[in-house]
Structure 1
Amino acid sequence: MGPTVEAVQAMGWERPSPVQMAAVPIMNARRDGLFASATGSGKTGSFGLGIACVVDASVPHLQAVVLAPTRELSAQTSDVLSSLGLKVAHLKKRGTGCTKGNVLVTTPLTVANAITAGGVDLSHVVCVVLDEADRLLDDQFAQQTDVVLGGCPAQACRLLFSATLRDDVVMAAETFLRDPISVVVGNPHGSTRAVRQELSYVGEERHKIYTLKKLLAGAIAPPVLVFCSTQARVLAVYKAMADVAVPIGFLHGSRTPQQRQKTIDELRRGEIWVLLTTNLLARGIDIPGVSLVVNFDLPPSGIEYTHTVGRTGRQKEGRAVTLFTDEDGPLLRPIATAARLAGSDVPAWMFNISTMGRRKRKEVSQHHRVRDTLPGEDALMASRKAGTKRPFHASHSHSVIMPISNEALAEGEVPPAKRKAKKGKGKGKKKKAKKAE
């Protein structure tokens, strides 16, 4: 029994998934391929097992290259391939060299720089894998990906894996794939049906925080991922959620690789229950057992929506809630379409919200708008209006869940809160002092 078989059994893989059954024979035959399969369907295992079939461990050269759009995904993939018995190589700093190994897993920019610096030899590569291919072929990575493909032998087989299949990705792939075999598992344009998807109309932007707090106030099973559109939004939501009685963390692209990995490890260990992030974690990163995904901001496209929603529903049924406002109307249709294709019940009015008149929109908002208060706040507000003084209880106060570190403050990520000076104090003392003089 070979080491790969033992490794597969040790990882608890009892039977191959549909995409694995298709990909491994194609890779073993050294054919080019384009694979579209939902998140959590076993794509990493597909090309990992396929690479194990084509790599000769007795040859002391790089024989396979796996490209991923983020450092986190490449690190996770490296761990999986190492567990399968493959020897993974690592590039040295600034691309000056490469450690010994048969497989290189990295980002396009890192290996492209190493090629330019002459720090890596790809002349013996027999297999190139593009994981999250739709990202690697977009404007951000396309040029770097071309450099890597050009640095590999022309006869090397090229395999593209993605959760979604767009026409522009197929057209781009046709420029460098040779007579490829295309494999589509499930719906290539939609997300998994194992996720209960909800589109939640909140009317106005200010209602989002209330809605998120209500979601987290219920019975939730960590970990929970909350996606925001920008780094600034992540930090703003993090500060606004300081009174929520669950441990919350945040993650975005400007944090150092060490900080990002530390946060992910804390999430996996259960030290963080809710993680606020940008689309950094929307691609490929496997956080086991995610029970709930919240799109705090509407994703910019149906493709991105599919990837954020795909962070849950992997080992068990998951739930995804997407918040949207009146201003999101023009962007809602592709999101609603993706949710409907995945089997969710999407009301017809959501497809027409951008064309609704003011009266109709008001009518809809009266039926679907989220209330402005959280459980227990109604009585407090009523007592305040009536002038009733309530005794202070410690249980009514909440400290900051995860104090901002001095390191974060030094980086300027989260500015310290400014205390407002009470009117009339301080100035009066100065005036009295002047009169006394």
Structure 2
Amino acid sequence: MSFRSLGLVSPILKTLEKQELHVPTPIQEKSIPIILEGKDVIGLAQTGTGKTAAFILPLLSKMYGTQQTGKFRKVKMLVLSPTRELAQQIGEVIKPFASATNIKTCTIVGGVPIFKQFKDLRKGSDIIIGTPGRVEDHISQKSIDLSNAKYTVLDEADQMLDIGFLPAVRRILSITPKTRQTLLFSATMPQEIKRLVEKFMVSPVEVTVSAVAKPVEKINQKIIMLNNSQKIDALKEIVQSRAGARLLIFTKTKHGAEKVVKSLSKDGFSVASIHGNKSQNQRQKSLINFKNGNCPLLVATDIAARGIDVPGVEAVINYDLPEVPESYVHRIGRTARAGMTGDAISFCSELEIKKLRAIEKLINTRIKTKNYPTIGSIKIRETENKDTAKKIDDRRRRGGNPGRRKFKRKR
């Protein structure tokens, strides 16, 4: 099936041809005709499957031909995203298609001065893409009027739940017209999202293109068993063995990310970081340098785990295993994009074995393990590392809970 058979308008098709995009992904093929019919849609798909275009293309097709003249335009479409980076990426994807259909867009996120956004919004926009917090700021300042919004899109809804944005999302949706068409895209469907659907969507059609929370098949996954104190040395060996390769490294905390950056920088590696303590300009600069290859190493917290489409990431390294098993899938989904292959290397200490078991249970896969050090030409040392790894793997098989001691009750 080609895009031409989906019912999209001519300017959209011409723009797709310029970008040499001819065949829709499964989520696009299934969603676009339903959206064009005006129905509410719940799209359940992995990250990297083309969800953004799945809602952009049909909604712009529907908006094309409606009155788009005049300098000051009313907001007709609102796209809510959990993170600044994802909102800006959506804005970039929309640009060429909006230009082809004479539609004006505006991206509003936190981390940048709000007065600059006032100026952009006063010019009028057909489409607003933003994070819930900043959109609410503008609503309270009366710089955004959603009374004429015909379409609302909630992208990565489950991550908005994780971050705590759901109350803001509810408040925003409650002031939009009840006749709007609502689209929700998510990798998982927790109970809170189901309740949101029941309240704000009308007879939604559910579109699922693959098993929820299943990693991309072309990702080669491996676990390296080691002690916490050995993680930084293991990371440096991986980076050295893949000199010049684009590597994305995930840590559990912002403080941990900066510690890794400091240690790698000290050894002469070109590395940047992206997390909540960075300003929007800093985060954008880090992403741009990572994308263009000026800085091949990027250390991130889970803020960057979803929706950031950086081509050519050779490997994702989980320096710390995530607290939530689903986050593992979203993290490693940054590699093996668009049909490519990639590696996911995860460090696991004795204290993280419970998280590893939860991940393996979620993806229904036993991930192959190696003992540290096994990277490059370094052989396994007959030291505590091997004993530690063996002890971890024994507990992994037994299902025991590391870190807990059993005491006999005194009688």
State how far apart, in whole Å, the 2-side matches of 1:231 and 1:215 are: 22
- Match among 1, 4, 14 for residue 6 of structure 1: 14
Q: Which moved more, 1:62-71 or 1:93-102?
A: 93-102
TM-score (norm: length of structure 1): 0.76
Q: Secondary structure at the match of 1:330?
A: helix
Verify: 1:293 aligned to 2:306, yes or no: no
Larger radius of gyration between Structure 1 and Structure 2: 1
Contact 2:82/2:163 (8 A) holds in 1:
no
Unaligned runs of 5+ in 1: 351-367, 379-437
2:336 maps to what in 1? Answer: 313
- Match among 284, 293, 306 for residue 283 of structure 1: 306
**C-alpha deviation, 1:89, in angstroms:** 2.7
Q: Secondary structure at the match of 1:294?
A: strand
Q: Secondary structure at the match of 2:200?
A: coil
**C-alpha deviation, 1:230, in angstroms:** 0.8
1:58 maps to what in 2? Answer: 67
Q: Secondary structure at the match of 1:125?
A: coil
Q: Secondary structure at the match of 1:280?
A: helix
Letter of the structure 1 residue corresponding to residue 208 of structure 2: V
2:202 maps to what in 1? Answer: 178
Q: Secondary structure at the match of 1:186?
A: coil
Q: Secondary structure at the match of 1:226?
A: strand
Verify: 1:93 aligned to 2:114, yes or no: yes
Contact 2:47/2:187 (8 A) holds in 1:
yes
Contact 1:27/1:51 (8 A) holds in 2:
yes
Distance 1:90 1:307, change over 3 A: closer
2:135 maps to what in 1? Answer: 111
Q: How big is the alpha-carbon RMSD for the aligned residues of Structure 1 and Structure 2?
A: 2.4
Map of 1:398-437 to 2, 5 A cutoff?
none
Verify: 1:150 aligned to 2:174, yes or no: yes
1:346 maps to what in 2? Answer: 367
**C-alpha deviation, 1:168, in angstroms:** 4.0
TM-score (norm: length of structure 2): 0.80
Verify: 1:40 aligned to 2:60, yes or no: no
Contact 1:210/1:373 (8 A) holds in 2:
no
State how far apart, in whole Å, the 1-side matches of 2:352 and 2:129 are: 38
State how far apart, in whole Å, the 2-side matches of 1:34 and 1:162 are: 8
State how far apart, in whole Å, the 2-side matches of 1:270 and 1:220 are: 12
Distance 1:248 1:20, change over 3 A: same
**C-alpha deviation, 1:132, in angstroms:** 0.6
- Match among 68, 81, 84 for residue 97 of structure 2: 84
1:267-313: CA deviations, max 9, x gaps?
11111011111112112111111110001001111111111111111
State how far apart, in whole Å, the 2-side matches of 1:291 and 1:221 are: 10
Distance 1:306 1:90, change over 3 A: closer
- Match among 166, 191, 196 for residue 220 of structure 2: 196
**C-alpha deviation, 1:165, in angstroms:** 3.3
Contact 1:293/1:309 (8 A) holds in 2:
yes
Contact 1:39/1:192 (8 A) holds in 2:
no
**C-alpha deviation, 1:372, in angstroms:** 9.7
Letter of the structure 2 residue corresponding to residue 227 of structure 1: F
State how far apart, in whole Å, the 2-side matches of 1:51 and 1:37 are: 19
Q: Secondary structure at the match of 1:190?
A: coil
Letter of the structure 1 residue corresponding to residue 263 of structure 2: A
State how far apart, in whole Å, the 1-side matches of 2:126 and 2:50 are: 22
Verify: 1:267 aligned to 2:276, yes or no: no
Q: Which moved more, 1:93-102 or 1:293-302?
A: 93-102
How many residues align structurally?
A: 355
Q: Secondary structure at the match of 2:347?
A: strand
2:372 maps to what in 1? Answer: 370
**C-alpha deviation, 1:369, in angstroms:** 3.4
- Match among 214, 239, 256 for residue 262 of structure 2: 239
State how far apart, in whole Å, the 1-side matches of 2:375 and 2:176 are: 59
1:227 maps to what in 2? Answer: 250
Letter of the structure 1 residue corresponding to residue 373 of structure 2: R
Contact 2:325/2:355 (8 A) holds in 1:
no
Contact 1:306/1:338 (8 A) holds in 2:
no
**C-alpha deviation, 1:260, in angstroms:** 1.1
**C-alpha deviation, 1:39, in angstroms:** 1.5
1:160 maps to what in 2? Answer: 184
Distance 1:244 1:13, change over 3 A: farther
1:25 maps to what in 2? Answer: 33
Q: Secondary structure at the match of 1:299?
A: coil
Unaligned runs of 5+ in 2: 1-8, 381-411
Q: Which moved more, 1:130-139 or 1:145-154?
A: 130-139
Q: Secondary structure at the match of 1:197?
A: strand
State how far apart, in whole Å, the 2-side matches of 1:334 and 1:218 are: 30
